[in-house]
Structure formats: structure tokens, C-alpha cells
Amino acid sequence: MHTLSQLKSGELIGTKRLKLAEGLTDFPLEILTLADTLEVLDLSDNALSSLPDALVKLTKLKIIFASNNQFDTLPAVLGQCPELEMIGFKSNHISHVPENALPAKLRWLILTDNRIEVMPETLGERPRLQKLALAGNCLTALPLSMSKLSNLELLRISANKLQQCPEQLLQLPKLAWFAFAGNPFCESTLKVKSVPSIASSQFELAQLLGQGASGVISKAMWNGDHTGFPADIAVKVFKGEVTSDGYPEDELQACLKVGNHPNLVQSLAQVNEEGYLALIMNLIPAHYNNLGLPPSLDSCTRDTFPTGFTLPVTDIARMVEQMEGVFAHLHDNQVCHGDLYAHNTLFDENANIIFGDFGAASMYHMLNEQQQQRIRAIEQRALHHFIDDLLSVCAESDKASEAYQALAKRIWTEGI
């Protein structure tokens, strides 16, 4: 984090990254003094509503974030920035996206949680686009031109008002991570009762275990009798509003529809009270660790791993076999996970995995057979990426093995 005083004093000359969050209502023109070097500009968490035309002077700018501000229109000047490839304007008041606001080199566009009713047809004229997040808007249809987005890999369109399944998206050649729940075209009256409902007063939250876009997970203790439940539990309390992936209620229903599987976090009960939605789960043993790390700004859609992290090919093969079982179980239950990644997977020293985080999951039993097949094919690509990512951290001494070659061959022959 930098300060406005640092910027005005000239202390930041030469910097490549600038982050300012001081309740700004106007764009500080001193930012333009960084034009020779600035590549990443983060103006999130301010009160900005416009950007100056002079922004084009930042000729090296590649990334701009301006989430949690007061924009009602995506600034058209963004489309004139020659090197700009990543735009993040989440949680503003944007209702209008001008046709000329999307830069030619656009690779990553995040407009989650706004008020957008129409996206321009020029969206389909951005061939480098890999990641697109439009969840939590008011879209009733998507541009037909999106059928030309041949490099699009991750797409979030949940929690909108889409009336029909966007067929132009289902045959995109690289789409692998797709979230679409919470739209009229896939509305479901299904209320899964695969686990009992209990009162929030029956447990008490304790140690924080983690949190994501849709909720907070904590270790919990029972208050009194817990007959029929294990002693050790975790509770995910949903945040209750639209997230980067969609509505919490859709996540809960998809998770319950999938049911139990040896390699999934087991659901035990649910809480569905006014203002309080939660899922009670088995507590994952402490010896499990994260298999991967989320994508970086550079990798865009692909997982990353700690420096020096390697796996023997025997462990990789075992993990892949288990994930294939999870994949089959999900789609046998007509649920698309939408986020099939190593970073949503836990593993132990015996290469056993536990897969979770249904924040981007979408039920698709209401779609026609052809649409269902295409949804499954989309997530099949994510499974192939999962294999490919694990092979990227395979021990060097195992890369000539038959097991390695067999896994690699599957990706080559089946395609990604």
C-alpha cells in the first residue's frame, strides 16, 4: 500500500506497481508522473466515479483494479490504453459498458457484482480474452459474438437474469471452468434434503479454518447432545450475498445434490434460518495440506505451486484416479463443479485427496441432453488441466517413466 503523500513528493518515481486506498473521489493526476514504468494500478476501495482521458499516457499500464468504487459506467478511456490486458471493476454501480471501453489486448475482465444489463458485441472481438467474470449483474442475454472467444477458459455468469442457455458459449474450444447457476434458464425448484436441518444454537463456532468468496469455515463444538453426528465438525457460514461465483443458496443446493463420496468433504447437516445459512461438515484431519495454489496474475487461469514442490508420478497417478472418480460422481448427479483445480484439493502423505469448495457449482438437470453433454465436456477440460498441472510438478526422475507418459498421452489424445 502506498500513500498519496508519497506519490506527490515524487518518492514513487520508477515504481511498477501502485496501490492507493485513501477515500479518493478524484483521480490523482500525479499518477501520470509514473508513466515511464507503471504496469499495475490498484485504486480499489475508494470513492472514484471516473477516470481522466489522460490515463492513455500510462503507456506501459497492463493491469488496473478499481473495485469497490462509485463507477456507474466502465470508463471508455480503458479501451484506448495500448498495453492494458487486465481490468477489475468488481462491486461498483456499473450499468453501462461502452463498446469502445474494452482494450484490444484484453485478457482478463472482472465486472462481478454490478448492474450491467447488456454487454457490447465488441466483447467477442477480443481474441486474447481468457478469464471473464460477470456474476451478480442484470444480464438477460449475452452477445452472440462471444462464440468467437476461442481462448476463453474461465467464465462466471451466475446470478444474472439470463432467460436462455447461452448456446454460443457451450462449444468454445478452451472453456474449462464455467459457473452459471442462479439464472432463469437453469432455475430449479429442487430443495435437496439429503442431510437434516438443525438449529444454529446446536453448535458454537470456534477456531477459524479459512474463508473464501462465499463464506467462512470454522471448527465448531456441539452444544449438548450430538447423537448421530461425529464429535469433530466444521461449519461453513455463508455470507448471504452474491459472490464472485454466484449465490450461496445455489452452492448449498449443488453441494447437497452431489451427496457423499470418499474424496469429497462430507456434508452432515444444514442450517437454513432467516439471515443464517450454513453447512455442517466433517472436520478434515489436520495432516491434509493444500495440493496447489490459486492462479497468479501471470498464469491467469492455471494453478500455481510453491517453489520447489514436486510429486512422484505414482502419487500423481493415484490423485488423478481419485479425481476422475469425483468427476464421474459429480456429473452422474448432473452437477458442474465449475472450479476443478488443485488449489481446491487437499492431499495427505499417502496421496489420498479430498476435494471441496462448491462456490462455483451449477446444477444442470433441467437442461436438454445435448446441453448437458456439452457442460460435461467443458469440465472434462478442467480435469485435463488438473492432470497437466500435476505433471508440471512431477519429479524430474519420473518424467521418462511409463506412468508419466501414459498420463501425458491422455492429455495429448483427448485434448485440452
For residues 331 and 404, state if they share a domain.
yes
For residue 230, the enclosing domain spans 200-282
CATH code assigned at 252: 3.30.200.20
Distance in angstroms (rounded) separating the CA atoms of residues 416 and 412? 8
For residues 204 and 303, state if they share a domain.
no
Whether residue 224 lies inside any domain: the answer is: yes
For residues 275 and 333, state if they share a domain.
no
Three cell numbers, residue 361: 457449482
Distance in angstroms (rounded) separating the CA atoms of residues 373 and 355? 23
pLDDT at 249: 86
For residues 265 and 313, state if they share a domain.
no
Whether residue 385 lies inside any domain: the answer is: yes
Whether residue 133 lies inside any domain: the answer is: no
Distance in angstroms (rounded) separating the CA atoms of residues 24 and 42? 12
- Residue 55 sits at φ, ψ, to 5 deg, of -55, -25
By the 8 A CB rule, do 266 and 281 touch? yes
CATH code assigned at 318: 1.10.510.10
Distance in angstroms (rounded) separating the CA atoms of residues 244 and 187? 19
How many distinct structural domains can be found in the chain? 2
The verdict on whether residue 236 carries a ligand-binding annotation is yes
What's the CA angle centered on 369, arms 366 and 373, to 5 degrees?
105
For residues 209 and 254, state if they share a domain.
yes
pLDDT tens for the chain, 416 residues long, are: 899 999 999 999 999 999 999 999 999 999 999 999 999 999 999 999 999 999 999 999 999 999 999 999 999 999 999 999 999 999 999 999 999 999 999 999 999 999 999 999 999 999 999 999 999 999 999 999 999 999 999 999 999 999 999 999 999 999 999 999 999 999 988 777 778 999 999 999 999 998 877 889 999 999 988 888 999 999 999 987 777 778 888 898 999 999 999 999 999 999 988 889 999 999 999 999 999 999 999 999 999 999 999 999 999 999 999 999 999 999 999 999 999 999 999 999 999 999 988 999 999 999 999 999 999 999 999 999 999 999 999 999 999 999 999 999 988 776 65
Distance in angstroms (rounded) separating the CA atoms of residues 140 and 147? 17
For residues 264 and 347, state if they share a domain.
no
For residues 251 and 271, state if they share a domain.
yes
For residues 294 and 410, state if they share a domain.
yes
Distance in angstroms (rounded) separating the CA atoms of residues 320 and 164? 35
For residues 346 and 242, state if they share a domain.
no
Cβ neighbours of 277 (radius 10 Å): 21
Last residue of a domain, one of 282, 308, 324: 282
For residues 273 and 293, state if they share a domain.
no
pLDDT at 415: 62
Q: Which residue has the cell 493526476?
A: 29
Whether residue 119 lies inside any domain: the answer is: no
Whether residue 354 lies inside any domain: the answer is: yes
Last residue of a domain, one of 282, 310, 330: 282
For residues 308 and 323, state if they share a domain.
yes
Last residue of a domain, one of 234, 250, 282: 282
Whether residue 185 lies inside any domain: the answer is: no
Stretch (H or E) spanning 370: helix 369-391
Q: CA torsion 292→247→48→40, rounded to 10°?
A: 20
Whether residue 123 lies inside any domain: the answer is: no
Cβ neighbours of 298 (radius 10 Å): 7
Whether residue 246 lies inside any domain: the answer is: yes
For 122, 170, 204, 243, the CA distances from 112, given in Å and listed in that order, are 19, 21, 33, 8
For residues 276 and 307, state if they share a domain.
no
Three cell numbers, residue 179: 459457473
